Chain A
Amino acid sequence: MPLFYDARIRAYLYQVIAVGLVLLVAWVMFSTASANLAKQDIATGFGFLARQAGFVITETAITYEPTDTIGRAILVGIANTVKVSLLAAILGTIFGLLVGIGRLSHNPVLSRLMLAYVEALRNVPLLLYLLLWYSLIISTFPPVKQAIQMLPGVFLSNSGLVMPALHWESGFAALVTAILVGIVAATFVARMLGRQRVVSGKDRPVALIATVAFLLPLVAALLLANISVTWDVPELGRFRLSGGYHLRPEFVALLLGLTLSVSANVAEIVRAGIQAVSKGQWEAATALGLSRARTLKLVILPQALRIIIPPLTNTYLTVFKNSSLAIAIGYPDLVMVSNTIMNQTGQAIESIAIFMGVYLGLSILISLVMNWYNAKVALRER
């Protein structure tokens, strides 16, 4: 048989050709762009990343000063993008799960309400919501000088929520270790007891024992390690509250907008997933005497999860990319920082290449993680 008709070889051949073509096109575009830039005397290259940034970024997830390099400023942008999208994905999923289940409720008021919620959020562009939330926040709350004091040291105003922050003198690492050890211990204990119950049939208070397992390392850390914290309490200066932890309206508006948009999408995915599980499963569970809530938790959701995961991956990718709308409401994400840099250096192609690279890289990472999880929950046929 000629080599070309071997299905496997042919499959590889196509792949090689496809990759080759993509590389060819990329190379042609790259060389054309470089030639054009050279012809117009436009500077190229990534050398500008080592130059001093010189501008302030107000909200930073990692330490940053204007005297740091442009490269560092881009890292700050990436960290801010990751922070807000990660939080939005987690909160949106939890919230969306509840809305999705509510959508299937037998209570007509609840299910209609959830329907309205989902439709309202899915049918209006996210950008408009972001502008709406932002305008609401900055026009509803009073200026800083008339900030509402909710609790001692906790102030709410149109420049955000300021609260006392814990300042770790020492012992932070010990505490984190204790919490991690606690989580591992609790998981281990819970699993072991579960297995024992299957074997021996003895019913022990699993939740209680797991909690104790979680708390023990924590108590040990508190007793043994030298943990000392001070409170960093905000003070009202001439214009601003200084010190403490500052939750800014730009971040809140973006997080709110993204979270709600994720939750609406997740709700639809969850509803579709649940409805896709055969009705017989409900009936069988009811016949066994399981309550509706337990049926959902033990029988339906585990099966629905297999249908839910792939579209959920899409939602996560979307929220991550949508976070770039931050620029409209002043949250310093990757795009905003890159834009500032583009303006100051004029290195548009390089800056865009960087943020395309970052978005591509992180999107692939999200896909990989979700695909791994998908493979884990997939139906295993033996």
Chain B
Amino acid sequence: MKSRILQLCATVAGIAVGLVAATSANAATTLETVKARGKLICGVSMSTPGFATADAKGHMEGFDVDVCRAVAAAVFGDPEKVDFVLTNINTRFQALQSGEIDMLSRQTTMTFSRETSLGLDFGPTVFYDGQGLMVPKSLGVNSAKELTDAAICTLPGTTTAQNLSDFFRTIGGKFELVVFENPDENRNAFFSGRCEAISSDRSDLASIRAVANNPDDYVVLPETISKEPLAPAVRQNDSNWRDIVSWSAWMLMAAEERGITQANVDEMTKSEDPEIQRMLGVNEELGKMLNLDNKWGYNIIKGVGNYGEVFERNLGTKTALGLTRGPNTRWSEGGLLYAPPFR
């Protein structure tokens, strides 16, 4: 009997030591980990058309997915060297914090409290969004302010529920909030008329509308009740990795600004423009400063194209989502996209 207790003690002590040891082994930087693994692991959202969905062959595609591919192209020169982890609203930050994913590229709003208290850093905003409301046309509503007393379907948490409360408090109305964990249930409840309206980021509403039996039956109301800057996120205190993710995103924007496309990137390497030469690694060694190959910028554009191409391919007017660029236009045309200089 005594020996059995000793055995038990030893086992428990072993587990305890293991727990402590496991935590002190994360000294390697994210770039080293990713390179050693030979693949980037990127957290994206679950089946959101336009942002992250699998096509018929199981190949992931979408705007958020392309941001991941850009980073993979920067690190490995190959946009396909990335594994995708589908994260839900509740587990996305924990997945990043715990090291299960190397970066989070999903419809996640950059906010003050997330940046300061969640142990993560955001990259540049890649999509300027705002929360809106969608209603069936038959409801005859033209403004969100008319929705007092309506039932509104949303996904849990995020900033959505709070923005709605704030909005209705400012207009002095009440509403019934119906919350679903699962995006499919959320959509079904709205389509079957359990709720008069559904609320989410405008891009997400477009995505929901795209899967309706008859998208023309639904209309997104004009009010934008919040600012939702969607940005990729990385773990805090890994400056080099954050630089890589941030500058990969800016590379997409700068490429559009300079007219570099997936098709003409090879020609562009012969350009006389010194900034294009720096971006594509023809002269100066910007890549080395990121601990990457000097061709990193070339690889991104060759692999996924520039921002405009990524947008049009996944979200643009020719896709089911049919989004216009809106604020997501480059600064020189009055939009908000502004990449710092590559020098």
Contacts and interface: CB of A to CB of B under 8 A. Distances in A.
B211 interface: no
Given A21-B8, A36-B23, A42 B166 contact: no
A57 B97 contact: no
Interface stretch (B32-40, B47-55, B86-94, B279-287): B86-94
Contact of A346 (B15, B89, B114, B156): B114
Contact of B149 (A37, A242, A339): A242
Given A41-B236, A159-B151, A250-B178, A346 B118 contact: yes
A56 to B, nearest CB: 4
Interface string B308-328: 000000000000000000000
Interface in B83-103: 89-90, 93-94, 97
Interface in A121-173: 131, 134-135, 138-139, 143, 158-159
B118 A239 contact: no
B239 interface: no
B179 interface: yes
A24 B156 contact: no
A138 B189 contact: yes
B215 interface: no
Given A37-B119, A332-B179, A346-B114, A239 B89 contact: no
B196 interface: yes
Contacts of B212: none
Interface string A338-382: 011111111010000000000000000000000000000000000
B151 A343 contact: no
B185 interface: yes
Contacts of B104: none
A296 interface: no
B90 A342 contact: yes
A273 interface: no
Contacts of B93: 346, 348
B249 to A, nearest CB: 23
Contact of A56 (B5, B9, B94, B175): B175
B56 interface: no
B3 to A, nearest CB: 14
B237 to A, nearest CB: 7
A21 B162 contact: no
Interface in B216-261: 235-237
Contacts of B157: 339-344
Interface stretch (A25-33, A109-117, A222-230): A25-33
A58 interface: yes
A330 B179 contact: yes
A37 B23 CA distance: 11
Contacts, number: 135
A238 interface: yes
A135 B176 contact: no
B194 interface: yes
Interface residues of A, number: 51
Contacts of B176: 58, 159, 240
Contact of B194 (A131, A138, A346): A138
Contacts of A42: 97, 117-119
A54 B113 CA distance: 15
B147 interface: yes
Nearest to A35: B23
Contacts of A344: 157-159, 162
B161 A55 contact: yes
Contact of B161 (A56, A327, A330): A56
Among B93, B118, B164, B169, the most chain A Cβ lie within 10 Å of the Cβ of B118
B90 A339 contact: yes
A345 B158 CA distance: 10
A125 to B, nearest CB: 15
Interface in B174-209: 175-182, 185, 188-189, 192-194, 196
B20 interface: yes
Interface string A318-349: 00000000011110100010011111111010
A30 B197 CA distance: 43
A41 B116 CA distance: 8
Contacts of A346: 93, 113-114, 117-118
Contacts of A339: 90, 156-157, 181
A237 B8 CA distance: 67
B177 A58 contact: yes
A17 interface: yes
A250 B164 CA distance: 20
A63 interface: no
B166 A329 contact: no
Given A56-B177, A58-B176, A336-B179, A40 B185 contact: no
B16 interface: yes
B19 A329 contact: no
Given A55-B165, A342-B157, A40 B97 contact: yes
B19 to A, nearest CB: 5
Contacts of B169: 66
B118 to A, nearest CB: 4
A175 B325 CA distance: 65
B289 interface: no
Contacts of A330: 153, 178-180, 185, 189
B150 to A, nearest CB: 4
A249 interface: yes
Contacts of A135: 188, 192
Interface of A: 14, 17, 21, 24-25, 28-29, 32, 35-37, 40-43, 54-58, 66, 131, 134-135, 138-139, 143, 158-159, 237-240, 242, 249-250, 327-330, 332, 336, 339-346, 348
Given A131-B185, A240-B150, A330-B185, 12 more contacts: A28-B16, A37-B119, A40-B119, A40-B236, A56-B164, A237-B149, A239-B151, A330-B189, A336-B179, A339-B157, A339-B181, A343-B90
Interface of B: 5, 8-9, 12, 15-16, 19-20, 23, 89-90, 93-94, 97, 113-114, 117-119, 139, 146-151, 153, 156-159, 161-162, 164-166, 169, 175-182, 185, 188-189, 192-194, 196, 235-237
Q: What 7 A-B pairs are tightest by C-beta distance, nearest first? A: A343-B157, A40-B119, A143-B193, A43-B117, A42-B119, A55-B161, A340-B157
5 contacts: A66-B169, A135-B192, A328-B182, A330-B180, A340-B156
